[in-house]
Structure 1
Amino acid sequence: MNYTELQLRLSPDYTDILTAELAELGFESFVETDEGLSAYIIESDFDEKAVQELITKYEGQTAIAYEVSSLEKRNWNAEWERDYEPIEVADQVRVRASFHESDARFRYDIVINPKMSFGTGHHETTAMMLEQQLGLDFVGKSVLDVGSGTGILAILAEKMGAQTILAFDIEEWAVENARENAELNDCPKTTVFQGTIADVDPTTQYNIVLANINRNILLAEIPFYTNLLTKNGYLVVSGFYENDAPDIEQKALEVGLSLANRATTNQWTSLSFYKP
């Protein structure tokens, strides 16, 4: 599977805004650069006309230039190792690559070798999800990780005592990566499969559902997540911009959930909901 790389040269003040907008167009991963932003999307999903319309939308506010190139499937470790530093969350979680030494000061040590999946904890949404998880009781609980990417959220869930974790992603390479990372972290209770929410057994219920994806998928699927939640269960979501939080919250309230917690970092937002 080939990827398209979109390299944007723009003011740092607009990188977060363009990241959110490009995520709505299907771009899956983002890397901030000295010149602006690089964004990545499956080649078959790339729509240059939509990108041009987005550039036109903002070029009256800031100077923007872009270049498009095709990338063959490759191992992303070399890309990350150049400047990959461990991530520390709430003084309890440390996310590192296998080439870093462990640090005994942290309660949870998570090893993530990203390959083509970018959920390393460096992005604000992943870090917020990890911090939200620290506020929940996972001991003996069943967990569903939607769009698992590298498997980082599932791994923390198991390290926090979850009894069973089912994770899935639509991309084959993400599933392979999550399985490898689960093995690296000695997480035998984590099962990862390739598919969508439609492939999850609707008769099985979970104490906690984690979904770090994007606004449109969340709005469409929150009712499904809610049906899969046990009473007194929690849904934790992120992957959307602060301006989209009211729509996400409204959808959750419509299906009977109650807001439990909110976190915002650099205009990205994470929400957790409780099922009475």
Structure 2
Amino acid sequence: MCADMLSEALLCFGASSTSMDEEDAFENSDKIFINTIFPEGEDVNMCISHASNSIGMKEIPDYEVKMGEQYNWIKKTQESFHPVEVTEGIWVVPEWRTPPNIWATNIILNPGLAFGTGEHPTTKMCLLLLHSLIRGGELVLDYGTGSGVLAIAALKFGAALSVGIDIDPQAITSARQNAALNNMTPDKMQLHLVSGKSCPPLMDAKTCGVVEEQKSNGMGVISGREKYDVVIANILLNPLLDLADDIVSHAKHGAIIGLSGILSQQLPYIVERYSPSLDSISVSEMDGWVCVSGRKTRNLADS
């Protein structure tokens, strides 16, 4: 499970893709090998250090860096990304592939340098949660939007407005491109680069240096406390714990808050942190990962 956590953390801190090495040559070894592709210019050492720290590893794992041509990692990433059927009638489809069912709800995606392709269990569970919650006309906040897949899905399911926030400029760029691929206009899908208390620890100041871009309809996301009908945060355990007050503060009284990016054994920490402000907490599980949801009763800071 530590390898799973590290793989997800690497994606959140700059990697474009990760994969576990399951070759027979390593059958008798107690080591797990993670192959990771980074975009050109990424600070690999910093990414690995931040990823290791974010999941509480006492030591940075041994690693080797090999340089390759840019087209190789793009090609490899594209080849590994296939259409994903989340549930019947809902697909996440790479921009460069044909939708298997043109009549389905197809979320077209080019993840670029952001996390969120629809293949990871946490993303699937969040998509299923959104599908079960959206009845039409809701305001949805995607907290840590990454590729924008959840914000886009919310609109396709019938939400009136979705807002995606992230601390990574590359994520906002990717989400904006994916919004365009799905014909989502800025009046329906707002995207904001945030900093300050919305910035998880261990992120450097350079990454968090720009506050909020793109406003439409006069609605500023950062000042929109207790505004959203659904708030969903598919990030990692430590940011979910550290930013709990901020995450909860955006939801209306009675709104649903969904939390994922959590391993099964980490569930007690999330339940303890959020139970003062959430009623009717429910948990879904997939491949060792969990998604927690509950109805807001109060702000954590008021508890």
CA contact (8 A) 1:93 1:106 kept: no
Which residue in the other structure is 2:283 paired with? 262
Structure 2 unaligned residues grouped into runs of 5+: 23-32, 200-211, 213-221, 298-303
The counterpart of 2:271, out of the listed 246, 249, 260, is 249
Contact 2:230 2:256 in 1 (8 A): yes
Larger displacement relative to structure 2 (70-79 or 136-145): 70-79
Q: Residues 136 and 193 (structure 1 numbering): CA distance in 2 closer, same or farther, change over 3 Å?
A: same
Q: Which residue of 1 aligns with 2:189?
A: 190
> Is this contact kept in 1: 2:140–2:159, CA < 8 A?
yes
The 5-angstrom pairing of residues 150-161 of structure 1 reads 150-161=147-158
Query: Partner of 2:158: helix, strand, or coil?
Result: coil
- 1:75–1:116 Cα contact (<8 Å) kept: no
Q: Using the alignment, how far apart are the partners of 2:286 and 2:72 within structure 1?
A: 29
**Identity among equivalent pairs (%):** 27
Count of matched residue positions in the alignment of Structure 1 and Structure 2:
251
Q: What are the residue-to-residue correspondences of 1:60-209 with 2, within 5 Å? A: 66-69=63-66, 77-104=74-101, 107-188=104-185, 189-196=188-195, 197=198, 200-203=222-225, 205-209=227-231
CA distance in 2, matches of 1:194, 1:73: 27
- Counterpart-to-counterpart distance in 2, 1:138 and 1:76: 40
**Counterpart of 2:49?**
47
Shift of 1:94: 0.4
TM-score if structure 2 supplies the norm length?
0.73
* Contact 2:262–2:289 (CA under 8 A) maintained in structure 1: yes
* Alpha carbons 2:225, 2:251 under 8 Å: kept: no
* In 1: Cα distance, 2:224 partner to 2:190 partner: 17
- Secondary structure, counterpart of 1:175 in structure 2: helix
CA contact (8 A) 1:76 1:114 kept: no
Partners of 2:72 and 2:139 in 1: CA distance: 32
Query: Aligned pair in 2 of structure 1 residues 72, 221: CA closer, same or farther (>3 Å)?
Result: farther
User: Does the 8 Å CA contact 1:94/1:106 hold for their aligned counterparts?
Assistant: no
- Contact (CA 8 Å) 1:74, 1:116: kept in 2 or not? no
Q: 2:233 and 2:161 mapped to 1: Cα distance? A: 16
CA RMSD of aligned residues (A): 2.9
Unpaired runs of 5+ residues, structure 1, are 1-15, 56-64
